[in-house]
Structure 1
Amino acid sequence: MNQDTSRAFGRDPTRLVLVDDHELARQSIRVLLADLPDIRVIGEASNGREAIRLCGRLRPDMVMMDVRMPEMDGLEATREIKLSYPRISVLMLTVHDNPDYLLEALKVGAAGYVLKDADRQEIIAAIRRVREGDSPIDSQLATRLLKRLASEVAAQEGARKRPDSAGIQQLTPRELEVLELLKLGRTNRQIAEELYISVGTAKNHVEHIINKMGVSDRTQAVVRALEVGLIDFSGS
């Protein structure tokens, strides 16, 4: 990829912090991304506490976060980062593909995940998708995770009691359609194709949904919508 390709992304390079307690793992990712003009590694940390401090000092666009680390693991660090710096996206780097585990990552605010044994193109694509507002999670796995959450919410609430949705602005009919497609893990391009709208319009709808629901990314919008009963998985 050359500089012209970088300009085609229409923005400055994604400023990325790598967090992993293994130096060789960080070096591997750093080398993998070194020749990409649209992604720039600006810092590294070996545990969650260091990651939080780096986020406060560098304010990166994104953190690629390992899960198991000493002092503070990736899940707790992600929770703290999203609370303190909600505009920073967190992409989990993990060896775990268990739905229960991945659900915990989503619930603390992760925008997506990539497996450590993924190939180079998958890792690069995951970073770019998060920057574009997508969630790099396999659509079938995402559906399984969100169904699990829906069941969990229903069991916890009982008697059809739902969390307060007063803080959520009313969504338009079109936004509700888009939310239903987000529930199924659709990308902006797939949403555009299914609703016969432009990709830019689809992206705008997704951004409006995120803003109205007071969350930081599309995955959290679906989680919140499930919690307050705006959507469910009956008939999915």
Structure 2
Amino acid sequence: MAGVTGGDAAPVRVLIVDDDALVRAGLSMILGGVPDMRVVGEAADGAEVPAAVAAYAPDVVLMDIRMPRVDGLAATEALRALPRPPEVLVLTTFDADDQVLRALRAGAGGFLLKDTPPAEIVQAVRRVAAGEATLSPAVTRKLITHVTGAGPAGPDPRRERALRLLGGLTEREREVALALGRGWTNAEISGELFMSVATVKAYVSRLLTRLELNNRVQVALLVHDAGLV
């Protein structure tokens, strides 16, 4: 995992993927001026991503969704299937909520709106590089509520699967999973559940292994699928 705190740590290596040259240039200017980050490459379409990742070995890929040939959803799925994939941070607008949810289920570490202030973009990249979700609780609830709604009556295979998977956890693991579903940070979980941040990180890693998921965002989605938050 890349260093994200400056000092002697290696800079976070970022690959920017967007079909809009102006967006790529703007993001390069924002991130290129940050001491603990380095923009190592750019790509204009999802079809270019595998070769770019192989060539530049980024820690984080800033991924647009809507691109002409291969969109960001397909590119994200392809990246997350790699043995040691980079983290993916989706670039989007709220009118693409359904696509954002699909990207998160595919393994993206979070999303940014394209009009996000520069300082927040930098912080989001740092958080994703460190394995933290970039979704605030309010945005998480808004996104998932907007996309999924109340759901149809009757059996829901996705809900039943989520309940089955979460039902196999220990009580403490379940508490941590529910906290992730609420969008809490490691520090917030530490304070609420009276455990050290290191212990929280250990539980999150254990959850990812037991549930066979890529990141904490997918745990949060599983909790929402189960209807527990």
Scaled by the length of structure 1, what TM-score is found? 0.81
Residue 193 of structure 2: aligned partner: 195
Corresponding residue pairs, total = 224
Paired residue secondary structure (1:6): coil
Residue 23 of structure 1: aligned partner: 21
Residue 14 of structure 1: aligned partner: 12
Residue 81 of structure 1: aligned partner: 79
Residue 49 of structure 1: CA displacement? 0.5
CA contact under 8 A between 2:181 and 2:223: conserved in structure 1? no
Residue 161 of structure 1: CA displacement? 5.0
Residue 102 of structure 1: aligned partner: 100
CA distance in 1, matches of 2:89, 2:201: 20
Alpha-carbon deviations, 1:52-97, whole Å to 9, x = none?
2212333321100112111111122112211235632110111235
AA at the equivalent of 1:203: K
Paired residue secondary structure (1:40): strand
Residue 51 of structure 2: aligned partner: 53
Paired residue secondary structure (1:7): coil
AA at the equivalent of 1:173: E
Q: CA RMSD in A?
A: 3.0
AA at the equivalent of 1:6: G
1:122 to 116, 120, 124: 120
CA distance in 2, matches of 1:38, 1:125: 11
CA contact under 8 A between 2:58 and 2:86: conserved in structure 1? yes
My pick for the range that moved more, 170-179 or 96-105, is 96-105
Q: Is 1:92 equivalent to 2:90 in the alignment? A: yes
Residue 68 of structure 2: aligned partner: 70
Alpha-carbon deviations, 1:100-139, whole Å to 9, x = none?
3432221222110111111111101110111122211131
Residue 227 of structure 2: aligned partner: 232
**Where in structure 1 are there 5+ consecutive unaligned residues?**
none
Scaled by the length of structure 2, what TM-score is found? 0.83
Distance 1:83 1:12, change over 3 A: same
Residue 225 of structure 1: CA displacement? 5.0
Structure having greater relative contact order (Cα 8 Å, sep ≥ 6): 2
Paired residue secondary structure (1:42): strand
CA distance in 2, matches of 1:221, 1:209: 8
CA distance in 2, matches of 1:130, 1:211: 19
AA at the equivalent of 1:223: L
